């Protein structure tokens, strides 16, 4: 590489000194045309080159002499650099030293916050609170932009029906409708109305496409799927992000129809640009072009051309374009026109960000907006509390009184660093732990006593993988000693809170799991705590749906707390002690056991369905010997400290015409004794159609807040666009016939009505 850079640099130095545009900067097309007309081929290909700064590395990063590339105009951008002075320095080299003076894109995985860290995306989705999710992206953009970042590799909108896949943590779950709503909100939050404002950053929707359907849930694995499933289930969130104006798209690591997504022209050009009208640029996911060789697609030269021809504009870390494209042009395999097209798209993004007017707007270093502020932290705490999902609450064990002796036990009880979850690249690690927050909440009204009780895993190697670097927290005592201490502490208490589950990196990229139950050592701890006879509340930390079948039979109260971000601990204390009622609803189905995967609510029906799905085996029907077909906890499920009753589902008409619409209204009553939020859900079911219909599909939802005893009628408008699907020929149509309408507080507990759609 070093030799290559020297050759490129030598070529760049032969060209005339700094270029000054004669065209006014306010005419974007003319300005970029002028730039392009003056750029050498090396400079053009340089714009298509995105190396990683060796500060944060997630894969096989190549060593690049980045200063020299910037100075010679051979760099489109840089990513994984976290210090604003370093960014400014590189920007100065690019703008003041390079011949064309083209500023750099500066990327980072700002995935769920920057300094104020919000819950992981899967948790955010569980809030179903779209305006609040948009606000998390807005705050992230404000902070990241002040830290020199102008481009985030987010939102990640991959649908995931397989919790073995660790990256389920980074997306919105299994539903295309909710996923699309969140995708739009995140793009709006990052990019605002006007990308050139100083605190807006470019979004990058990823990973296009189908990455969440990796076989066996093993990361980076093969994907193979019908086009009908792509269009109806997996594509909607990407499409929604594109329609919301996402300025860039990242292709994915997986295969699509046997081709690498990065070199799939149907995907990157026919679907993305021709069908959806995408105007921004496409970047590879990390070293995808280099990895194509490992897949068996041949040489880097061949794969560079294939990726470019398919529609890739920028190469992240493979050093493929910068090594191979010039020769490919010389050999006549690639036209200059094709190169110009990609470079134009990249320059347009820089232009839209306002970088040509003020290249230092992000790296001026004179703002402290990048620091977390108190109002944003308070919002992050409220937001985190909205994401927790109460799975079980026998005899209203929760909320706890902040009095008496409370034993807080578990490997996740006293580790602030683990609260933030995966892709928290800017986390400092010193966040309050649950123990800190519970002690603060209780004050002198009671006492919180603590024991760790167990390591995360008996196997130190697995634990190291699930808690890398600064998050490592292994206790060197024996399992027996830790358990004995925990039991002794638990015996003194009135109630036990068990903080169990995954480490921060136990889910996320490369963190696939084949067993989704609590690791053995934590399971033994939980059994021992239950054996004390004291009431036990289990807090399950996870970045995915896990298997809680044993727990749901034996533990009286269970709440999924995901990874709640920098304010998670306080938020958990708020909910545990009842300051806030839980209101999160699952966006991924929680399976009975791993063998049930994939299990998801919007499934199709077999010719031999098992009805009722009561778990009693029936020969020659579609069922298992051991478990029912439905999941343990379904999509849309989540309890509250109050109860909600649904009644009076009414349709404004029992028929709908092609140019008409109807309303569905339902009365929701808070039948408990405290104010709380509820997510009211609307599902439709096309009873008969030409392509096998799912049993139900989410088509609307509304988060409402009701006082004790209060009722509200929630009204959804249903129009023909909501009945449409991609048929066998991939035409987007609504077919006449009967539709069922379902509303309720969970996908499997709905009131039903139906109407006829007439064309």
x/- letters, 179..208, toward ligand BGC (CB under 6 A): ---------------------------x--
Distance CA 113, CA 428 (A): 13
| 716 counts as binding ligand BGC under rule CB under 6 A | no
Residue of minimal Cβ distance to ligand BGC? 153
Q: Which two tokens stand for residue 580?
A: 């806030």
Establish whether 285 is a catalytic residue.
Answer: yes
Q: How far is the CB of 81 from ligand BGC (least distance, A)?
A: 12
- What element of type H or E holds 376? helix 374-387
Q: How far is the CB of 167 from ligand BGC (least distance, A)?
A: 8
Among 59, 465, 598, 628, binds ligand BGC (CB under 6 A): 59
- At its nearest, how many Å lie between ligand BGC and the CB of residue 752? 40
Decide whether 81 or 500 has the Cβ nearer to ligand BGC.
Answer: 81
708-736 as b/e: b if 16+ CB within 10 A: eeeebebebebebebbebbbeeeeebbbe
CA 456 to chain centre: 24
The structure tokens listed for 477 are: 């005592």
Q: Between residue 565 and residue 624, which ones bind ligand BGC under the rule CB under 6 A?
A: none
- CB nearer ligand BGC, residue 80 or residue 522: 80
Nearer to ligand BGC, 204 or 272 (CB): 204
Q: How far is the CB of 708 from ligand BGC (least distance, A)?
A: 44
Helix (H, G, I), strand (E, B) or coil at 271: helix
- Parallel, antiparallel, or unpaired: how do β-strands 77-79 and 105-108 relate? parallel
Q: Nearer to ligand BGC by C-beta: 42 or 505?
A: 505
Tokens of 39: 């750029």
Stretch 117-156: interaction string toward ligand BGC, x if CB under 6 A: ------------------------------------x---
Q: Does 556 bind ligand BGC (CB under 6 A)?
A: no
Which residue among 158, 285, 313, 319 is the active-site one?
A: 285
**CA-based nearest residue to 109, from 280, 285, 314, 362:** 285
Shortest distance in whole angstroms from residue 510 CB to ligand BGC: 8
Query: For 207-251, where are the alpha helices, taking DSSP H only?
Result: 227-229, 236-243
109 touches ligand BGC by CB under 6 A: yes
Contact residues for 669 (Cβ-Cβ < 8 A; gap 6+): 644, 645, 647, 706, 709, 710, 711
Name the residue nearer to ligand BGC (CB basis): 140 or 369: 140
Residue closer to ligand BGC, measured from CB, 78 or 329: 78
Map 559-578 to HEC letters. EECCCCCCCHHHHHHHHHCC
Cα distances (angstroms) measured from residue 150 to each of 79, 105, 123, 633: 10, 6, 25, 40
CB atoms within 10 A of CB 259: 17
Residue 246 CB, shortest distance to ligand BGC, in Å, is: 14
Count of residues that bind ligand BGC according to CB under 6 A: 8
Minimum Å gap between C-beta 203 and ligand BGC is: 12
Q: What character string, x for contact with ligand BGC (CB under 6 A) and - otherwise, covers 211-240? A: ------------------------------
Of 165, 238, 278, 286, the one binding ligand BGC (CB under 6 A) is 286
The residues in 484-523 that bind ligand BGC, with binding defined as CB under 6 A, are 509
Q: Which is nearer to ligand BGC, 43 or 509 (CB)?
A: 509
Residue 297 found at the interface with ligand BGC (CB under 6 A): no
> Shortest gap between Cβ of 269 and ligand BGC (angstroms)?
22
Q: Which residue, 109 or 502, has its beta carbon nearer to ligand BGC?
A: 109
Q: Measured from the CB of residue 160, what is the shortest distance to ligand BGC in angstroms?
A: 14
Instruction: Report the candidate in 588, 606, 586 with the shortest Cα–Cα distance to residue 694.
Output: 606
CA distance 412 to 456: 8
Q: Return the exposure string of 550-563: e unless at least 16 CB atoms fall within 10 Å of the residue's CB, then b.
A: ebbeebbbbbbbbb
Interaction of residue 285 with ligand BGC, rule CB under 6 A: yes
Is the Cα dihedral 255, 256, 262, 263 positive or negative?
A: positive
Name the minimum Å distance from CB 336 to ligand BGC: 29
User: Which of 58, 229, 621, 643 is the binder for ligand BGC (CB under 6 A)?
Assistant: 58
Q: CB-hemisphere CA count at 13 Å for 12?
A: 27
How many angstroms separate the CA atoms of 410 and 112, rounded? 26
652 vs 152: CA distance, rounded Å = 44
Query: DSSP secondary structure string, 634-668?
Result: -TT--B-SS-EEEEEEEES-SEEETT--EEEEEEE
Nearer of residues 318 and 522 to ligand BGC, judged by Cβ: 318
**Nearest residue to 178 via CA among 142, 99, 125:** 125
Write each residue from 368 to 407 as x if it is in contact with ligand BGC (CB under 6 A), else as -, in one continuous string: ----------------------------------------
Binding to ligand BGC by residue 757, rule CB under 6 A? no
Q: How far is the C-alpha of 750 from the C-alpha of 604, rounded, in Å?
A: 18
Task: Provide the mask over 152-171, with x wherever binding to ligand BGC is found by CB under 6 A and - wherever it is not.
Answer: -x------------------
CB nearer to ligand BGC: pick between 206 and 439: 206
Interface ranges with ligand BGC (CB under 6 A): 58-59, 109, 153, 206, 285-286, 509
Instruction: List, by residue number, the catalytic residues.
Output: 285
């Amino acid at each position: 590489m070093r030799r290559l850079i020297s050759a490129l640099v030598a070529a760049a130095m032969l060209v005339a000194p700094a270029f000054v545009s004669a065209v006014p900067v306010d005419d974007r097309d003319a300005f970029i045309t002028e730039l392009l007309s003056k750029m050498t081929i090396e400079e053009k290909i340089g714009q298509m080159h995105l190396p990683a700064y060796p500060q944060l590395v997630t894969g096989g990063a190549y060593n690049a002499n980045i200063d020299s590339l910037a100075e010679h105009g051979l760099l489109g951008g840089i990513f994984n650099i976290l210090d604003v002075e370093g960014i400014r320095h590189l920007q100065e080299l690019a703008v003041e030293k390079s011949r064309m003076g083209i500023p750099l894109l500066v990327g980072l995985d700002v995935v769920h916050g920057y300094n104020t860290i919000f819950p992981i995306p899967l948790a955010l989705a569980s809030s179903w609170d779209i305006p609040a999710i948009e606000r998390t992206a807005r705050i992230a953009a404000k902070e990241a932009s002040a830290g020199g970042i102008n481009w985030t590799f987010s939102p990640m909108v991959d649908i995931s029906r397989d919790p073995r896949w660790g990256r389920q943590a980074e997306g919105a779950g299994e539903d295309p409708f909710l996923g699309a709503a969140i995708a739009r909100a995140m793009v709006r939050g990052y990019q605002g109305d006007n990308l050139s404002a100083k605190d807006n950053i470019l979004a990058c929707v990823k990973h296009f496409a189908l990455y969440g359907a990796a076989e066996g849930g093993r990361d980076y694995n093969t994907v193979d799927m019908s086009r009908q499933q792509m269009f109806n289930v997996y594509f909607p969130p990407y499409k929604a992000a594109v329609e919301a104006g996402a300025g860039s798209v990242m292709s994915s690591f997986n295969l699509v129809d046997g081709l690498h997504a990065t070199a799939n022209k149907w995907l990157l050009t026919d679907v993305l640009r021709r069908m959806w009208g995408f105007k921004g640029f496409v970047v590879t996911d990390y070293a995808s072009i280099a990895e194509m060789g490992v897949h068996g697609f041949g040489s880097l030269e061949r794969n560079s051309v294939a990726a470019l021809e398919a529609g890739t504009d920028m190469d992240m870390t493979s050093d493929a374009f910068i090594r191979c494209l010039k020769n490919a042009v010389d050999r006549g395999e690639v036209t200059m026109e094709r190169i110009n097209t990609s470079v134009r798209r990249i320059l347009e993004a820089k232009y839209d960000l306002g970088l040509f007017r003020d290249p230092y707007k992000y790296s001026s270093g004179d703002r402290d907006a990048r620091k977390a502020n108190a109002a944003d932290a308070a919002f992050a705490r409220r937001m985190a509390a909205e994401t927790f999902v109460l799975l079980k609450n026998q005899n209203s064990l929760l909320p706890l009184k902040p009095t008496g002796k409370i034993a807080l036990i578990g490997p996740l009880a006293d580790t602030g660093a683990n609260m933030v979850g995966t892709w928290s690249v800017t986390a400092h690690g010193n966040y309050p732990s649950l123990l800190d927050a519970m002690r603060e909440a209780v004050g002198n009204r009671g006492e919180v006593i603590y024991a760790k009780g167990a390591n995360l895993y008996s196997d130190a190697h697995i634990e190291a993988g699930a808690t890398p670097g600064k998050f490592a927290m292994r206790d060197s005592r024996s399992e027996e000693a830790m358990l004995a201490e925990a039991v002794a502490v638990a015996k003194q208490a009135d109630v036990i809170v068990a903080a169990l589950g995954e480490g921060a990196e136990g889910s996320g990229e490369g963190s696939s799991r084949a067993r989704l139950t609590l690791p053995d050592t934590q399971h033994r701890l939980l059994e021992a705590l239950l054996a004390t006879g004291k009431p036990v509340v289990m807090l399950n930390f996870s970045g995915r749906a896990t298997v809680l079948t044993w727990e749901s039979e034996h533990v009286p109260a269970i709440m999924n707390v995901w990874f709640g971000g920098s304010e998670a601990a306080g938020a958990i204390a708020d909910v545990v002690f009842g300051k806030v009622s839980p209101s999160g609803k699952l966006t991924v189905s929680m399976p009975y056991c791993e063998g049930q995967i994939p299990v998801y609510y919007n499934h199709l029906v077999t010719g031999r369905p098992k009805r009722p799905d009561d778990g009693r085996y029936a020969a020659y029907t579609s069922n298992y010997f051991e478990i029912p077909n439905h999941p343990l906890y379904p999509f849309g499920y989540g309890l509250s400290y109050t109860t909600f009753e649904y009644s009076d589902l009414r349709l404004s008409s029992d028929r709908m015409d092609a140019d008409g619409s109807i309303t569905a209204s339902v009365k929701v009553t808070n039948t408990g004794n405290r104010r709380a939020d509820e997510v009211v859900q609307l599902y439709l079911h096309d009873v008969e159609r030409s392509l096998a219909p799912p049993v139900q599909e989410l088509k609307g939802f509304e988060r409402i807040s009701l006082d004790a005893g209060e009722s509200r009628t929630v009204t959804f408008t249903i129009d023909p666009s909501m009945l449409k699907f991609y048929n066998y020929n991939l035409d987007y149509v609504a077919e006449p016939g009967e539709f069922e309408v379902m509303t309720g507080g969970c996908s499997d507990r709905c009131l039903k009505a139906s109407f006829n759609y007439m064309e």
